[in-house]
Amino acid sequence: MTIRKLFFLFWTTLAIGTVTAPVMGWVIQGVFGPLGLTSVRLLWAGVMFGAVAQMGFFAYMVFNMVAKGFIRNPRLYQGIQLILTVLILIRILDIPAETRGLDNTWLIPWSLPVMILLFGLVVAWFKVKATQPAAFIPAIFFMVGTTVVEAIPALGQQSFPMILLMVMTLLVCNTWQIMQLHRLVGPTSEKGKQKSQTSGSGA
Q: Could you read off the pLDDT of 19-33 as tens digits, one per residue?
A: 999 999 999 888 888
pLDDT of 191: 41
Percentage above 70 pLDDT, the chain: 82
Q: How far is CA 186 from CA 16, 58, 62, 85, in A?
A: 23, 17, 17, 25
Q: Could you read off the pLDDT of 100-135 as tens digits, one per residue?
A: 445 555 556 678 889 999 999 999 999 999 999 999
pTM for the whole structure: 0.85
Q: What is the DSSP letter of 133?
A: G
- The answer to which of 56-60, 66-70, 106-110 has the lowest mean pLDDT is 106-110
Q: What value does the mean pLDDT take over residues 188-202?
A: 44
pLDDT of 105: 53
CA dihedral 74, 77, 78, 79 (to 10 degrees): 120
Amino acid at 99: T
Separation of alpha carbons 43 and 100, rounded Å: 26
pLDDT of 101: 47
Separation of alpha carbons 96 and 104, rounded Å: 9
Q: What are the domain boundaries of the chain?
A: 3-186
Contact 73, 124 (CB under 8 A): no
Q: Comparing 76 with 92, which gets the higher pLDDT?
A: 76
Closest CA to 12 of 172, 197, 131: 172
Contact 172, 16 (CB under 8 A): yes
Residue 56 predicted with pLDDT over 80: yes
Closest CA to 142 of 96, 179, 110, 187: 179
Residue 173 predicted with pLDDT over 60: yes
- The answer to which of 49-53, 68-72, 91-95, 140-144 has the lowest mean pLDDT is 91-95
Query: Average pLDDT of the chain?
Result: 84
| Helix 74-91 vs helix 39-70: crossing angle, to nearest 10 | 140
